[in-house]
Structure formats: structure tokens, C-alpha cells
Amino acid sequence: MLQFKNVTKTFNGPQGTVTALNNISFTVNPGEVVAVRGPSGCGKSTLLLTAGSLLRPTTGDVQIGEADPYALPQNGRSALRTETIGFVFQQFHLVPYLSVIDNILLPSVVKKAEDAKERAQQLLNRFGMEHRAHHVPAQLSIGERQRTALARALFNNPKLLLADEPTGNLDPENGEIVIQALKTFAQKGGAVLLVTHDIADCATRTLQMKNGSFV
């Protein structure tokens, strides 16, 4: 589902060139939860953004399904993300002025669906958020916010889920809910790339990263 071939990403900064990804190659297949672990600054987030077609690699190839996202124009990449990829962030990135149900429905702004409301309601039920449907993020607990973000990421039935420290801010109970959701997603044929600096029990495979390379 996701394939990196000799991917290198460098940044030019005032201190000189920084290599965030150094000749990385790996694959995430459907049904897999691949965890990438490593200390802060080792390149995990860069890896995730590159995998999400948001950050063009300096060299190397990235393949998402059958598509080479960086060969597509910007709008093509946007469409690819809508159709194929779900994102979950440590900071949730919920829209503060939208209710829980509207946050979940947000992807329907760019991809119209007649059954959008039913699907959003199902996700609400699945994550136990029915009673919070019309609350705004400021009225939710941290765990509820992450569950809302997860529901939004799953709204368009993506094939690839990219999660950046999804349990980093959560208590064990909510962390478990999120982990279970990722596992379920993978069991249904989805591919999960999870970056974390914790031990990821749910991972089918764990890659250790240091200074932009797998070790």
C-alpha cells in the first residue's frame, strides 16, 4: 500500500544541510500496522509527511497504492489524500468552531457523499461519542478529541492511515481505544503507519529510526 524506495529528504538551513531521511526504503502492506520508533528529531514526522504526499522527497520514490503522488499535480495529490489517506495527529487538529459531528463530516466538503450523515453517525457510535455529537472541541476531554480526530480520519474509508503519536496525550483508557481502532482498521485490510517514541503494542512490525535511517 505504501512503498518507500531509497527516499532521502534534506533541508537547507542556516546551519547547513540537514538530512532528515537518509536513503529509506520500506513497505507497509494492507493489514499491517507498522510502527516507526525513535527519539525526537530522528525524522519520524518527516517520514510521515512524506508518506502522506505532503512533503516531496529530495531523492527516491514514494508509491501509495498504484500512484506516485509526487508525479501528480498539487490538486491530484489533494484528491489522492482525500480518497486514500487518513491522518491522525498528536495535537488532533480539530476545527474549533465545528461540533463533533461536523468535524467528522469535514472531509465531505471536498468529497460529496449522499450517506455522509449516516457514516458520521456510525463513527460517532463506534467511538462512543453520540452524546457529544453537538459539542465543540473545547467542551471535550483530550480522549474525546482524539476519538473525534480518529473518526474524521476514517470518514472517507481510507486505505492508508498515518498516525503521528496518536496516543501521546491520552490516558491509558483512551489510548487503548485508539490502539484498538488502528488494529481494527488494519484487520479490515487497511495499512497503518504509526510514528511514536513509545512501544507500540499494536504494531505488526516496528522499525527503529535514528538520524534519518532505520537501524
d(CA 147, CA 152): 9
Instruction: Pull the grid cell for residue 57.
Output: 522527497
| Contact code string over 2-41 relative to another protein, x by CB under 8 A | ----------------------------------------
- DSSP secondary structure code for residue 204 in this structure: S
Q: Strand, helix or coil at 75?
A: helix
Look at residues 3, 74, 126 and name the one whose alpha carbon lies nearest to residue 118. Answer: 126
Q: Return the range that interacts with another protein (CB under 8 A); candidates 109-117, 123-131, 166-174, 196-204.
A: 109-117
Q: Does 62 interact with another protein (rule: CB under 8 A)?
A: no
d(CA 21, CA 42): 8
User: Among residues 97, 141, 187, 210, which is the contact residue for another protein, using CB under 8 A?
Assistant: 97
| Contact code string over 152-191 relative to another protein, x by CB under 8 A | x-----------x---------------------------
User: Among residues 55, 192, 194, 203, which is the contact residue for another protein, using CB under 8 A?
Assistant: 55
d(CA 7, CA 74): 20
